[in-house]
Chains A and B, each alone.
Chain A
């Protein structure tokens, strides 16, 4: 091993990104390319009475105009409930109804204004609780007829598209044994992924083969392909997805969105490629958001401070179509006891359709909502019982060898050190309460647990060319989290060449072998394992070749830094020099490898519940110090100490980036971001009114890398991207309670809510002082 792994290596994509050379999805352009534009529904629910596209079709530059009538097939992640363009009925304000392709973007937009759609408004379901009512209008009356993954998770003739229960132990007996029982209800709101690069795609249809080529900006080219295919009525392999550099995704670019419109238009545009780029407003209003949730928790504790039982009822709002949210709701809900030993559990999770924008996977895959609820609830428990939040978490927290809710034995985890080190860094136990007359400070802590998609597989091919350079061919798009760098580090070390001599080309589903999505913080672990194996094979072949050429025993040779050395460390020949000896016949070394978590003994669990197991578990703890302005209600986050159990950091620089970036996102999610709706329409489809954190808003952030030992992980590395933002909002909320004694249970934490809570608290404090009447 040469020694890139474990070191602070500058990102291999840096130079292209600081010079403007990197080509993103929005930068791809093809000769003869048309531009698409979309007319969207102004109503959350309405029947489409008629569509008149004649004037638009005749407008200058227009190639084609398509409606839902042109696409009768449905697609979707788990339940195929969505069409490329609305058919007969619109189910959310912003749903695509008509699409136009034209020579220029301007002409396409102009043509939209000539389309006449007559709607008949229908009563809409705009609230997830209302969606449960017996007399609620059904968003999808035909739900039971849709193609979908087998299983009894839907409730036909209701708005419930996912119902999931999990029982462990005996929860009623647990509550009966408890000395104290606490209950609380918490809400987590919709959030935009708000990647700075909007949704974009270029699609081309080949009428001879019936196939499509789609240039995309996506973390999941294979999943995107597989999901779009049923909507187009073709086999997945008939769609070739070519992924460019991705300008941010955060879980948001994995379902057909712009891709569906572009491919649909391409089908009817005479073979010309069609480019569809969303406006920022379309991106905010009509791509997808985090799934909003209402979480009710009940926890029983004994007098020694051990948690005995938890019951939970979670309600999720998928919006108008399910996309990935069947799994988001289930996987998220499964973490409902947090990273703690609670032997008795009863969980009911339900997800409903509403006439609101589509929701989906968002960094954390359901665990951000759950972590907000659980960790706020934990703080209420410790407050009421007078326990120290740090000690309470350490006392109840998972340790190596503990059983998870399905009996899986947790392996390779180190929650304890994340709690201890975050607490130490924040200076737990001391705070300057009142730095100014109008300011109050407090500290709070929150922990979380996150599984990774299991089972899943990663395939890779490594080509070592005659110039001594290796191409690592795999479908793991660089989405900003450093995938390309980590893959290059592992490849360079396992082959024994310099990292400058390793490239990681863009994903292309016609060329790169299959990989599950770049999601679920799985890439370093899964692709890392595959690359390590393939690179090791390449090195073995190099050594054998060198042995033949040098006429020495291959066992007495080693490869590092792009050279072949003997066991005394004497340089014999460069890798490039060795391969060039075979240039006449042409000599490449090619090796492939596959890693799959399926069948790992680590997944063993109670009978029938193995599917809940995760190949690795990510733990993290964030501790916050905040300052509350009691006159304005404005919260300033002073500091976040963010400790993540990453297993082993392949690259501490990129791990720090993930932790810091996650905290920034967590601060933004908790304090600033919120959609406002009027009559089911998003009113704030712009960055002036949907506020993201800027450099002015960030606290001091101390990333803390905690290590653990995982037997199957490449060099011990697990994942880090998703847990990084989840624990920040509850840590902030708990710190606010510590500062001023108010409890915010529904996100976001706005100055208005803080002031209102402060006033209520002041009134309650006064009434406590009054003598009883």
Chain B
């Protein structure tokens, strides 16, 4: 049995016919070939696969594609327009808030969602937002610098 799932991904309407067991992560990576979203564990423990689902960060490995039918999905590929990086992306680059970069899409998207709600988040809000995304390289101190940089750009 196959199901049809309609998603708006980075502003474009996409339709896929997939087995119902597929997750949103699998549809993004394997059907839509948006490989910027990474898988770190597949069971919702590392946060590497975060995408924005109707503006909210979700671990896409825990969302069945069918349950995302009709949703607006944003992935890392959708942030920069015509090569112009967003303020969040620019801050990550400037402060060095990435090393191997494997968690970076999830970190950037989570930070983006946070700042859309509140352009001056408190440090505890930042830690609570990013606390679910693991980084083995340990860029956490530089992430906090990036957040300070973004706050400074949003006076």
Contact = CB atoms under 8 A, between A and B. Distances in A.
Partners in one complex: yes
Interface string A109-152: 00000000000000000000000000000000000000000000
Given A18-B108, A19-B79, A692-B136, A480 B141 contact: no
Interface string A451-487: 0000000000000000000000000000111100000
Contact of A480 (B35, B100, B105, B144): B100
A27 interface: yes
Given A20-B34, A195-B136, A661-B99, A695 B79 contact: no
A661 B102 CA distance: 14
B131 A695 contact: yes
A650 to B, nearest CB: 14
A293 B151 CA distance: 46
Interface in A584-630: none
Nearest to A8: B96
A19 B77 CA distance: 6
A105 to B, nearest CB: 9
Given A19-B79, A23-B35, A197-B102, A694 B141 contact: no
B138 A11 contact: no
A510 interface: no
Contacts of A427: none
B46 interface: yes
Contacts of A688: 45
A238 B117 CA distance: 55
A18 B40 contact: no
Interface in A689-733: 692-696, 698, 701
A245 B35 CA distance: 13
B98 A18 contact: yes
- 9 nearest A-B residue pairs (beta carbon): A20-B36, A664-B138, A480-B100, A17-B101, A661-B138, A247-B102, A20-B76, A480-B99, A687-B45
Given A196-B102, A479-B100, 18 more contacts: A14-B98, A18-B92, A18-B101, A18-B108, A106-B21, A196-B103, A197-B40, A198-B40, A245-B100, A480-B101, A482-B99, A653-B96, A656-B96, A660-B139, A660-B142, A661-B138, A665-B138, A687-B40
Given A196-B46, A696-B131, A15 B100 contact: no
A280 B42 contact: yes
Nearest to B79: A19
A319 to B, nearest CB: 21
A99 interface: no
Interface in A1-31: 10-11, 13-24, 26-27
Interface string B26-54: 00000000111111111101101000000
Contacts of B144: 695
B100 A27 contact: no
Contact of B41 (A26, A250, A280, A480): A280
Question: Which applies to chain A's interface (DSSP): helix, strand, loop or mixed?
Answer: loop
Interface residues of B, number: 50
Interface of A: 10-11, 13-24, 26-27, 106, 193-198, 245-248, 250, 279-280, 479-482, 653-654, 656-657, 660-665, 668, 686-688, 692-696, 698, 701
B60 interface: no
B94 A10 contact: yes
B89 A18 contact: yes
14 contacts: A15-B85, A18-B93, A19-B77, A20-B35, A20-B105, A26-B38, A248-B137, A668-B138, A687-B45, A687-B134, A693-B138, A695-B126, A696-B127, A696-B131
- By secondary structure, the B interface counts as loop
Nearest to A24: B102
A109 to B, nearest CB: 12
A250 B35 contact: no
A686 B100 contact: no
A16 B83 CA distance: 11
Given A196-B135, A662-B138, A692-B136, A686 B41 contact: yes
Contacts of A662: 138
B100 A248 contact: yes
B115 interface: no
Contacts of B37: 20
B38 A13 contact: no
B38 A695 contact: no
A694 B131 CA distance: 6
B143 interface: yes
Contacts of B142: 656-657, 660
B41 A687 contact: yes
